A and B are shown apart, each in its own frame.
Chain A
Amino acid sequence: MTLYFLDFVLLVIGIYALVAKRHIVKKILGVAIMEYSVNLFLILIGFKKAGVAPILTKDMNLVTFIKTAVDPLPQALVLTSIVIGLGTLALMVSIAIRLYERYGTFDMHEINRLRG
């Protein structure tokens, strides 16, 4: 239970970086930290104590494997989510580079003032 709570502290640190910082790259790092926290939460839900990974090896009995295997469904979701997070990060970084070329600064408050 404390693991869920510590994971949520990580999410909240990411939200704080996204909201209360001025530098745009800090906001991007906040989004990355939020993605780590959410992926970890999904895998934590599917964990089974004294379990094995959901990959069958040659010397494993099928019946005991079904009883002790960790949940494979959240792992499939997280696999997709990690790669989508990479694509989103590439898009955000290209927007940041374009903003720097246009306004000459990374500061969001300056960009809000200079817009136009």
Chain B
Amino acid sequence: METIIILHIILVFMIIGSLITVEIRNMLSAVISVGAVGFALSLAFLFLDAPDIAITQVIVEILSLVILIRATIKVDNVAIEKREHILSDRTALIFVGMILVFAWFAFQSLPTFGEPSMRVSEYYLMNGLREVGATNFVTSVILDYRAYDTLGEAMVLFTSISGAFVILRRWKKEQDKDFLRIDREH
């Protein structure tokens, strides 16, 4: 029972943190509070009996904080002073309010919290040790029963990194320098 109360507290903390992220003007503070939301999420994963996911979330959160701070700290940090257009602001709020009202009705038809219908996972849990031999059932799912998804994920990562390389390439006017060499002029 106290796990549920702790999860409520963590979720309220995450909501407050994301509200601060969205509304604050200084960009560095926004990046830091999205980092706080990510670490609170890792704590929530730990209370939900998912230690694999908690480790991955902490490490990925650190790396995404490094990348985001790179985007905000090396350029002139000009806060945007102009007010957003009033009509778009209030219209967005009305729409999200309507989404929340309809979501409340949609959540009545989900299974009750705490009693999942594990129709596929029954097979994985009963035959996992015998067929695969690994005692970490999450690893045996991602690398034996569903290894295609892991291959697809490696492909997606490869594609996004190639895309980032192509976007960040710099063209020199005098000669076509390879973008991985050290740039001495700038």
Contact = CB atoms under 8 A, between A and B. Distances in A.
A70 B38 CA distance: 22
Nearest to A55: B136
Chain A interface extent, by class: 35 or more
A48 B79 CA distance: 45
Contact of B15 (A6, A21, A44): A6
Q: Which of A1, A40, A76, A80 has the largest count of B CB atoms less than 10 A from its CB?
A: A76
Interface in A25-52: 25-26, 28-30, 32-33, 36, 39-40, 43-49, 51-52
Contact of B71 (A9, A12, A25): A25
Given A10-B11, A17-B21, A76-B141, A43 B50 contact: yes
Contacts of B3: 49
Contacts of B14: 10, 36
Interface in B16-36: 18-19, 21-22, 27, 30-31, 34
Interface residues of B, number: 85
Contact of A62 (B70, B75, B129): B129
B125 to A, nearest CB: 5
B164 A90 contact: yes
B149 A33 contact: no
Given A26-B30, A29-B30, A98-B168, A72 B60 contact: no
Contacts of B11: 3, 6-7, 10
The B interface is mostly helix, strand or loop, or mixed, namely helix
Interface of B: 3-4, 7-8, 11-12, 14-15, 18-19, 21-22, 27, 30-31, 34, 37-38, 41, 44-45, 48-53, 56-57, 60, 63-64, 67-68, 70-72, 75, 78, 80, 82, 84, 88-89, 92-93, 96, 99-100, 103-104, 107, 110-116, 118, 120-122, 124-126, 129, 135-138, 141-142, 146, 149-150, 153, 156-157, 160-161, 163-164, 167-168
20 contacts: A3-B8, A4-B110, A5-B100, A13-B15, A21-B22, A32-B64, A36-B14, A39-B41, A47-B49, A51-B49, A54-B136, A62-B129, A70-B49, A72-B124, A80-B149, A84-B156, A90-B160, A91-B163, A94-B164, A98-B168
